[in-house]
Structure 1
Amino acid sequence: MSNIGVPDEVIETVLKQNDIIDIISKYVHLSKQGKNLKGLCPFHSEKTPSFTVSPDKQIFNCFGCGIGGNVIKFMMEIENYSFPEAVQQLAEDADIPFHWHGGHNENPEQQKEKSDLLKAHELSGTFFHYILKNTVHGKDAVQYLEKRGFSMKLINQFQIGYIPAMRNTLSDFLHKRDFSLPLMEEGGLLSKSDRQQYVDRFRDRIMFPITNARGNIIAFAGRILGDGQPKYLNSPETILFNKSKTLYNFYQAKKEIRKTGRIVLFEGYVDVIKAWDAGVLNGIATMGTAVTEEHATTLKRYADQIILCFDGDEAGQTAAIKNLSILEKMKFQVYVAMLPDLMDPDDYIMTHGSDRFKREVIENAVSATKYKILYLRKNFKLNDDNERLRYIRSALKIIAQLDSPTEREHYIKEMSSDFDYSFETLKQEMFEIKQELEKKLGKGDNNEKRWNNVMNGSGKEVAPSLLPAYHNAEKNLLAIMMYNRQITTYVEKEIGDQFNVEIHGAIAAYLYAFFAQHEKPDISKFLAMLRNDELENVASSISLIGDHHATNSKVIDDYIKQIKKFSQQHIIKQKRLERDQAERAGDYIRAAEIGKEIITLERNQK
């Protein structure tokens, strides 16, 4: 057993029965290019395809961001899975039976706790849904939901439920099914009363299940049915639920997000559900927090465009401004949907209907820059000359920070039209502001890692420096070793672990171990053995070099000679330093001994 509890035979079967092209094609549009297929990398922004998939080797590699590996690694990266979760998902997709509990670096007890909590949440979700639809207790909840525009189809789609006001509805249900009540408290389903008894955390609430990226229920959001407080209550953070990483409805919305390349971000789960009913199938919400870096990183794998659809009141507008900065930093194209008359999305849909919501609110969303300018505008009295001039200068400061000259010109023209100032005057003013900003930031393009062309698509790509001869020799030799057991055995005997680049030495050590267990080469299986992101990325990149340059045994020996030569040169250099230190210390006998060692080493090199 290896790979944190996943049996080797399961990994092998999963790799065999999940063709990498079939899996990656669900996420990336691939085009044939020689033996391989190419596409735009799903892990970073790029305009020219540098993402390569090899059907022969069953691996992928991006020459832009350096990420690479087999089909398991791809699923880990694209879906934010742990290794066991990725294997489990691929096993399920290929109808391969599995008998282990997935967990990332967890001991068996932690794995069991996680598994029990997942089962408890799934059962609780089914239980709440049943109470809502089939019992007297749920009648008021159904009436409330119908009044709010929730059809039974929508209730079923989102598995909305209800828990009565009694103290022990869920605790008794879980206790009868032999769940550990202390664990259920840790998992956020129960709490302790003043008498130290386990009681229901949620009471008299309409229950909205919260799922993870795989569709498993991991938490609940509860809305009070009566007038009690708090009005909304979410599960606490647990080993299953982290609100900084979780996105409401992400599992259901993924398909439409991939298809459209666009995400609609709402403030709450009711807005998401009502928008779904209106035909907005790519809607998600954060769990009561602003967008985090973890959220943004996950979303960037699926789409480049985000529409913020927050409430039309002051709080909603301020929340939109707060979320803009992190999304723009992650290079999303951000738009903001404008809701009139202080409405929220639910109100608008109820009042004006689904078609108008999609057409007039979602499709008419304004750019992030336009929204910032409009948001700024309400802070000034524009009928006052001084206030108007202050507003114009503040708006021009926003425009000056745009990278694109075309975008800058577009917004200056709009301002010129709105305020009856000449385009040239405003443009001159904007350039003066731009120069002031550049002086403050420090002229140049090194702000916010703007040098990184691969990530932001701007500026010129810096050519990589030439690698030393021994470095290329090690890479080429490792590439050949990956396809030949006999050559790997020969290299182990000649060099062993004496590679000059540390990561190359580590890959060589894994190759020695791999061929000690396997007769035939298998790049995908070898990569599964590494279980380290850096090693996998480098090894997958090296494997794409192939072994076509191994024309004869002389080529192998030349690479080995080149590697040994640099190693010897490094040792000689160290010896010379030792000799000089001995001479400075007055230890001339020791200096002479080291001198003889240097001569011997130099002779061996010739």
Structure 2
Amino acid sequence: MGCEEMSRHFDAELIEQIKDANDIVSVISEHITLKKKGKNYWGCCPFHNEKTPSFSVNPEKGFFYCFGCHESGNSISFLMKYNGVSFPEAMEQLANRAGIALPEKELTVGELKRKEHRDELYRVNQLAAKFFHNCLTQTEMGKPGLEYLQSRGLSKETIERFQLGFAPNNWDKLFRSFHERGIDERILIECGLCRKNDTGRIYDYFRNRVMFPICDGKGRVVAFGGRVLDDSTPKYLNSPEYELFNKGHMLFAFDKAYRTIREKKQVILVEGYMDVIGAHNRGVTNVVASLGTAYTKDQGRLLIRQAEEVVLAYDMDTAGQKAARRAIELLQDTEFKVRVVAMPDGKDPDDYVRNHGPEAFLELVAKAVSPFEFYLNSALISHDSNTAKGKEAILEEVFPLISVTSNQIERENYLKALALPLWLDNSTIYRMFRQYLTKGDINLPESTPDTAVSSTTIGEEDRLVAIAITDPLAWQRVQAYLPLEDITNPLYQALFKKAGELLSKSGALQETALEEMLTDEERSAYGRLMVIGETEFNEAQLDGYIRAVRLKSLRNQYKTHSVLADQLNRAGDARFIEELKFCQDLQALIKEWT
């Protein structure tokens, strides 16, 4: 299907809907690292080589602009340029990402087959979840599983909400049941529900386990985790990865937690399925877990823009501490504020919530410490700070965190904070840190400069035009009080004129419609204004900008005409009287506007 034909699927309303449903920061963060500075997010531009971030994203307006190469646009144009795809392809990527159904287009035979195959994978996983759930709640075979979940204090509602189940202690019960329904064995093997042995016999992958369905962001079951009830190994078994399931890209219960995460701006990250379910069971619903793997950057991207703070509530055994350190490492230098819950000895979050209640657990969360305090506290517990050997061991544990901290002031504060608990002076700590860096051949990360555009680069004209081209009332107010020639930037003049044309034609200033009218140069200027300008219409503020722009223009005109009057007078040209009169009129106008 040609690009022109496909374009017909996207009217302006649908384009706006898809843009609104895809937060630009999270879209761009899937491709480059962004950090929050003031209202905007900043990173190194992916469209030209640079070491200092000059690529800025305004989340409110949904625009990006690079102050280095002047590339600009919205989430659609970013994907088009970054992935080298057409407009319809970028639109489809964003629509799929947001779960927005697009108008039907004729699929190729290959696309149709792939869609039918994926639909079948989703259907079979949902049927499997129902099979395990029915086994748990309605059969004798599931009784041990139900007793186990009830002994962990789970309510009937929680068991239903998480679609918990039980895989019967039977070689091929699920396979036979699904085979009788006519479900292809290849689908069952692909989903990881069944396997084939060397003799060609098919058997159930999950047997005699409590089952935890794993859902994607839309709540569709894509995989399972299974837990044994005895001492068998492995204690937990996850579905193998396949087309619908990449465990490094997903978080357990994210589909059930993201609303609360967004409300609280905080996510509590735990290790196990039961830790998540136990917390949700007692009303703490901003809790998720990584899926049998260490926390990954891709999981972090799921949380960007949902949360401002990540609280790690891992078991404090060796494995839990190791997992917490790995997560801290990945969360370093992201925009997340990170804290670590000190779980009491031998307790995991599920035990704690069950025995002490949700309020006590939330108190622990409130007292969670910074990563530096976590590293230092655990090192002080593990080693004797009174001996030279112990001091060295403590520093060896804490230095890795300090060495990956890009903010120099923060780094120095950490080093100074080590002096007191270790009874060492600052110069000794600094010397030992330098030795640690030299020995490990470690280079300190460069401090990220504050790239926010200085206020001197944003003048009243920028602010005035930014507001005028996004709000019809503002445009009309500027039009009424300001001659077009007072706007000195010719690109801004063009933007203002075209916004006026659109306004008289449609009565609105819709971004998509306006962008279609612009040249490439004008589109770049538009992107810059959307990134730097505060585009909320405040009448008093706008009047201040109108006055400033008008006065600047009048003063420049006065300067030009008074120089001309002086030159004409010296040349004995009678026209100098006319120029002088013009200067007097300008002076009167300046007085009026001041």
Deviations 1:147-183 (CA, angstroms, capped at 9, x unpaired): 1222111111211112212333322343344432212
1:183 and 2:173 matched:
no
The alpha-carbon deviation at position 257 of structure 1 amounts to 1.7
Q: Which runs of 5+ in 1 are unaligned?
A: 29-40, 465-472, 486-520, 529-536, 547-606
**Structure-2 residue corresponding to 1:221:** 225
**Structure-2 residue corresponding to 1:362:** 365
**AA at the equivalent of 1:62:** F
Q: Secondary structure at the match of 2:299?
A: helix
TM-score, normalised by the number of residues in structure 1: 0.62
Residues 238/410 of structure 1: CA separation in 2 closer, same or farther (3 Å cut): closer
**AA at the equivalent of 1:118:** Y
1:290 and 2:294 matched:
yes
Equivalent of residue 161 in structure 1, options 141, 161, 165: 165
Question: 8 Å contact 1:101–1:112 — kept in the other structure?
Answer: no
The alpha-carbon deviation at position 236 of structure 1 amounts to 0.2
Q: Secondary structure at the match of 1:252?
A: helix
**AA at the equivalent of 2:36:** S
1:305 and 2:309 matched:
yes
Which whole-Å CA distance do the structure 1 matches of 2:212 and 2:372 have between them?
35
Equivalent of residue 48 in structure 1, options 39, 42, 49: 39
| Sequence identity percentage | 25
**AA at the equivalent of 1:427:** N
Q: Secondary structure at the match of 1:155?
A: helix
Deviations 1:524-571 (CA, angstroms, capped at 9, x unpaired): 48999xxxxxxxx9798389699xxxxxxxxxxxxxxxxxxxxxxxxx
Deviations 1:284-320 (CA, angstroms, capped at 9, x unpaired): 1111111222222332343232111111212211221
Equivalent of residue 212 in structure 1, options 216, 220, 228: 216
**AA at the equivalent of 1:195:** T
Question: 8 Å contact 1:85–1:102 — kept in the other structure?
Answer: no
Residues 477/182 of structure 1: CA separation in 2 closer, same or farther (3 Å cut): farther
**Structure-2 residue corresponding to 1:374:** 377
- How do 1:144-159 and structure 2 match up within 5 A? 144-159=148-163
Q: Secondary structure at the match of 1:136?
A: coil
The alpha-carbon deviation at position 2 of structure 1 amounts to 6.1
The alpha-carbon deviation at position 328 of structure 1 amounts to 0.6
Question: 8 Å contact 1:131–1:163 — kept in the other structure?
Answer: yes
Equivalent of residue 241 in structure 1, options 228, 231, 245: 245
Aligned residue pairs, count = 460
Equivalent of residue 267 in structure 2, options 263, 281, 291: 263
Q: Which runs of 5+ in 2 are unaligned?
A: 27-31, 41-55, 83-88, 459-488, 502-508, 517-522, 534-594
**Structure-1 residue corresponding to 2:74:** 69
Residues 44/393 of structure 1: CA separation in 2 closer, same or farther (3 Å cut): closer
The alpha-carbon deviation at position 339 of structure 1 amounts to 1.2
Let me know the Cα RMSD of the aligned residues: 5.0
Q: Secondary structure at the match of 2:142?
A: helix
Residues 437/147 of structure 1: CA separation in 2 closer, same or farther (3 Å cut): closer
Which whole-Å CA distance do the structure 1 matches of 2:59 and 2:344 have between them?
48
Which whole-Å CA distance do the structure 2 matches of 1:102 and 1:280 have between them?
44
Residues 70/63 of structure 1: CA separation in 2 closer, same or farther (3 Å cut): closer
**AA at the equivalent of 1:46:** K
1:87 and 2:95 matched:
yes
Question: 8 Å contact 1:397–1:434 — kept in the other structure?
Answer: yes
1:11 and 2:13 matched:
no
- How do 1:393-542 and structure 2 match up within 5 A? 394=396, 397=399, 401=403, 403=407, 405=409, 408-409=412-413, 412=416, 416=420, 418=421, 421=423, 426-433=425-432, 448=445, 450-451=447-448, 453=450, 524=512, 541=527
**AA at the equivalent of 1:273:** I
**Structure-1 residue corresponding to 2:51:** none
Residues 286/462 of structure 1: CA separation in 2 closer, same or farther (3 Å cut): farther
**AA at the equivalent of 2:527:** S
TM-score, normalised by the number of residues in structure 2: 0.63
The alpha-carbon deviation at position 379 of structure 1 amounts to 4.1
**AA at the equivalent of 2:320:** G
1:350 and 2:358 matched:
no
Question: 8 Å contact 2:309–2:338 — kept in the other structure?
Answer: yes
